[in-house]
Chain A
Amino acid sequence: NAGVTQTPKFQVLKTGQSMTLQCAQDMNHNSMYWYRQDPGMGLRLIYYSASEGTTDKGEVPNGYNVSRLNKREFSLRLESAAPSQTSVYFCASIFLSGSVYEQYFGPGTRLTVT
């Protein structure tokens, strides 16, 4: 049981390049989220997917797109990278049962845009 996995772990892009961050979970969770974490800003929600086939914008969606490929996989795409997108990106999946709500994070992708 790997939990939440993310690839790649590190990436350096030039301004204007594109890339896709991959996330997968093996916990059979319905909901998955993408966050970015910047020094002094905390964790901010980019996009989320409440269930397979649905996606919605979070707090900071500009410059990103997402795809919920199936129940396991949720990818984040940067179409034209900008230095402001230099950050650590975390994917999370959510266990929800009654009033219990638990969010589990992947190991993160450290992205630098030059």
Chain B
Amino acid sequence: QKEVEQNSGPLSVPEGAIASLNCTYSDRVSQSFFWYRQYSGKSPELIMSIYSNGDKEDGRFTAQLNKASQYVSLLIRDSQPSDSATYLCAVKSWYGGSQGNLIFGKGTKLSVKP
């Protein structure tokens, strides 16, 4: 069974700080990795995808991937109260047909305090 592990939190950071969210995965052949944000009572929203080792930046968000360590992280700079949500890490697995499927972690709840 392929697994994606996240610290459930809650992770609490002050406004303006950097929030660091971490994720590990078990499937060594995975090539595609994603971060979703889910506000309470809402559906998951794709915020970042990363396919290569290293960093990928998009505005205040940076995704980091280390395939050798099977580790993905998401950094949120200048955290805002509106970033308070649950962040889901997802890894593409080849289970689920030729195009694969996503295996989701259980999510880390982030709280940004004003």
The verdict on A74 contacting chain B, using a C-beta distance below 8 Å, is no
- From B31, B44, B51, B100, give the contact of A43 (CB < 8 A): B44
Q: A56-78, CB under 8 A of B: which get 1 and which 0?
A: 10100000000000000000000
Range, interface on chain A: 20 to 34
Please determine whether B42 and A107 come into contact, CB atoms closer than 8 angstroms. Answer: yes
What band does the interface of chain B fall in when counting residues whose beta carbon is under 8 Å from A?
A: 20 to 34
Query: Does B19 have its Cβ within 8 Å of any Cβ on chain A?
Result: no
On chain B, the residues within 8 Å of A106 by CB distance are 43
B44 touches A50 (CB 8 A): no
Given contacts A58-B96, A107-B43, A108-B43, contact A45 B101 (CB under 8 A): yes
The total number of A-B Cβ pairs within 8 Å is 53
Dominant SS at the A interface?
A: strand
- Inter-subunit contact B101/A33 (CB<8 Å): yes
CB of A104 within 8 A of CB of B106, answer no
Which A65-112 residues have a C-beta within 8 angstroms of B?
Answer: 90, 94, 96, 99-108
- Asked whether A31 is an interface residue with its Cβ less than 8 Å from the other chain, the reply is yes
Residues on B lying within 8 angstroms of A by beta carbon are 31-32, 34, 42-46, 49, 51, 88, 90, 92, 96-102, 104-107
The 11 listed contacts between A and B (C-beta, < 8 Å) are A31-B99, A40-B106, A42-B104, A42-B105, A42-B107, A45-B96, A48-B97, A56-B96, A58-B96, A102-B46, A108-B42
**13 further contact pairs, Cβ within 8 A, besides A99-B51, A105-B44:** A40-B106, A42-B104, A48-B101, A50-B97, A50-B98, A56-B96, A56-B97, A90-B43, A94-B99, A100-B49, A101-B100, A102-B46, A103-B90
